[in-house]
Structure 1
Amino acid sequence: MMAQTELDHDELLSRLHELANQSLGLWDVPADARARLINVSENATYLVETENGYKSILRVHREGYHTRRAIECELCWTEALNSSGCVTTPGIIQGRDGEIVQSAELPGKLGARMMVMFEFVEGEQPDETQDLAGPFEELGEIAATTHEHTIAWKKPEPFERLVWDLDAFYGPRATWGNWRDGPNVEAQIRAVLERVEATVRIRVSAFGQSEQRYGLIHADMRLANLLIDNGNTRLIDFDDCGFGWFMYDFAAGISFIEDDPQIPAMREAWVAGYRKVRPLSDDEEKEIDSFIMLRRMALLAWIGSHIDVPEAQALAKNFAAVSAELGEGYLSRMS
């Protein structure tokens, strides 16, 4: 099997494009359908379309990130959210064999990849250049609704998903790597972030993992993962969903823009939206600061371990320095 790490980014994308198009026959799609890359991060996402207007979305999973069962559990949750009517998610298209997770490879070129096809959803992402208070209030409502659902939902057994606990961020086998290996983590920056890690560990451990604070979460609930069409909002991309703290969903919502001047207003709006659906104590609201830093340092690790991805390269130059500035502010507020 050809490992992903043996290929440079452009060659990998070329082979994934070939795999995606050669695999379309696994689903009942028109014979003239073609797959076009629209996004690549952990996975490669393609728009499948024909000249006559057919559209669907194909997700080709990265190598070694999830097991088949973990993907099935993700899709089971999205279908449960949909069927309950509390949150709308894209429909899943079964393969010709009736399975929702398919697998294919390019012998000698690319090892087996798991794939899922979704119904195409019309809509646009919220405009992140505009006032974001309104969209974040809705995002808070959606987050709270998913949290209420997961507390009550009887999960299928065995249920397998990522675990976003302290070890996943700071442990020896952290999911996205060690933040110390991120780009431009110089001695002074590292010293600040070491203090931040120590403080986050203490505070989040004390915060605890009760059923009302910790459970199955989306874990990547950014505006980029909302699609709005004629007033209807759909939540997409559950690929990172797993077990974590509910307040982490806000931190994930401001990924990469934690220093934006709008953040205080966005946070206030998110909390207001959240409280429309479920209670949120003052202590829980205050601890959002810890989860923001937890996420920010995870993103620093992500950039370091994904430096071949254009998005990571674009962020690399100043991300560590800004993280340290944010960390200084966090430490002063929490002292």
Structure 2
Amino acid sequence: MTDPVRQALALWGLEGATSEFVAGRENRVYRIRSDQCDFALRIKRPGYRTEAELLSELQWLDAMHAAGLSVPRPRPALSGALLETVGSHYVDLVGWLSGRPLGQSRDRLAIDDAPGIFACLGAEIARLHDACDAWRRPDTFTRCAWDLDGLLGDDPLWGRFWENPTLDPETRQLLQQFRQEAVRDLGAMGSCADYGLIHADIVRENVLVDGPNLRLIDFDDGGFGYRLFDIATALLKNIDEPNCGELQAALVSGYRSRRRIDEKMLDLFLALRAVTYVGWIVPRITEEHGADRNARFIRTARRLCSAYLGQPHRA
């Protein structure tokens, strides 16, 4: 059987490079070590993104790198294309960024001066949003939208969370009620909302800490959305930290050091981010650890939706 990694590397003239598998979910990611430098080779899961969406992501990354952000920079193949195909898979190659992840989900944060890091992260997210607003996108640019329909419509981007088959009747009713009120409240924001291109997945694993520098990776779910959604995503996995309030204040303060933000609706976006995972996990429940993750996602969503609706929380 032909090795797709070797096939892909040949398209970039990297036949002599070594590869190491590092991650596999929506993409299979390999660290490529060559005489030039290190790269990340990404082999895409068929059907998850269209060719136009994948190319738009690479154009976006290239523009953000040109704007001075520390993001993976796409490398053109020998053909000059940013995106190639190997068999039924799209593949691309981006620069490998140094640093270690901010943390791992479910583990306690183990970093020095966590509030200081979160203040820097807030400022970096604001820099990203500023650069996105300043970028003149190609006419062909297309990405998903984390808008009202993408979050709460009949066919949300990450699935109909209120129909997760493992929900008990009480939790299902809670999520349906939250959906109804969230549609009303999100719709009321209207033109007052800060909306534009967002990363949409600023979890710990996608933030690399390299000394005083922070780097953002994995724009696979990036698209158009509410800027508060990025803030909520960066905070959600930290809500069980003993100093969660301090981390939230630091993140918002760091963002405000570069860009305006109205955090009055942050509780809504925390709950919105939580329920997306209840939909996302449905086709993945049977995977290893899927049932445990599903139960954890439901607990978090129940907690945050109850708080938003002003209802007693059932542990």
TM-score after normalising by structure 1 = 0.83
Give the counterpart letter for 1:238 in structure 2.
F
Equivalent residue in structure 1 for 2:110, among 102, 121, 129: 129
Aligned-residue RMSD, C-alpha:
2.3
Q: Do structure 1's residue 139 and structure 2's residue 121 form an aligned pair?
A: yes
Give the counterpart letter for 1:180 in structure 2.
W
Q: Do structure 1's residue 204 and structure 2's residue 180 form an aligned pair?
A: no
CA contact (8 A) 1:259 1:326 kept: no
Equivalent residue in structure 1 for 2:133, among 125, 143, 151: 151
| Secondary structure of the structure 2 residue equivalent to 1:244 | strand
CA distance in 1 between counterparts of 2:71 and 2:124 reads 11
Q: Do structure 1's residue 329 and structure 2's residue 296 form an aligned pair?
A: no
CA distance in 1 between counterparts of 2:29 and 2:291 reads 20
Residue 317 of structure 1, CA deviation: 2.7
Corresponding residue number in structure 1 for 2:24: 40
- Stretches of structure 2 lacking an aligned partner (at least 5 in a row): 104-108
User: What is the number of equivalent residue pairs in this alignment?
Assistant: 305
Residue 218 of structure 1, CA deviation: 0.8
CA contact (8 A) 1:220 1:241 kept: yes
- Stretches of structure 1 lacking an aligned partner (at least 5 in a row): 1-14, 106-111
CA contact (8 A) 1:63 1:113 kept: yes
Corresponding residue number in structure 2 for 1:230: 211
Q: Do structure 1's residue 49 and structure 2's residue 25 form an aligned pair?
A: no
CA distance in 2 between counterparts of 1:287 and 1:63 reads 36
Give the counterpart letter for 2:310 in structure 1.
S
Give the counterpart letter for 1:24 in structure 2.
L
Equivalent residue in structure 2 for 1:252, among 233, 240, 244: 233
CA distance in 1 between counterparts of 2:41 and 2:289 reads 21
CA distance in 1 between counterparts of 2:191 and 2:48 reads 25
CA contact (8 A) 1:41 1:309 kept: no
CA distance in 2 between counterparts of 1:254 and 1:22 reads 40
CA contact (8 A) 1:125 1:228 kept: yes
Q: Deviations over 1:265-321 (max 9, x none)?
A: 2211111001100122xxx20201111111110011111122344464441233213
Corresponding residue number in structure 1 for 2:83: 101
CA contact (8 A) 2:270 2:304 kept: no
Residue 54 of structure 1, CA deviation: 5.4
Alpha carbons of structure 1 residues 223 and 20: separation in structure 2 relative to 1, 3 Å: same
Give the counterpart letter for 1:28 in structure 2.
G
Give the counterpart letter for 2:56 in structure 1.
C
| Secondary structure of the structure 2 residue equivalent to 1:93 | coil
| Secondary structure of the structure 2 residue equivalent to 1:247 | helix
Corresponding residue number in structure 2 for 1:6: none
Alpha carbons of structure 1 residues 90 and 36: separation in structure 2 relative to 1, 3 Å: same
Does 22-31 or 125-134 show the bigger shift? 125-134
CA distance in 1 between counterparts of 2:13 and 2:36 reads 15
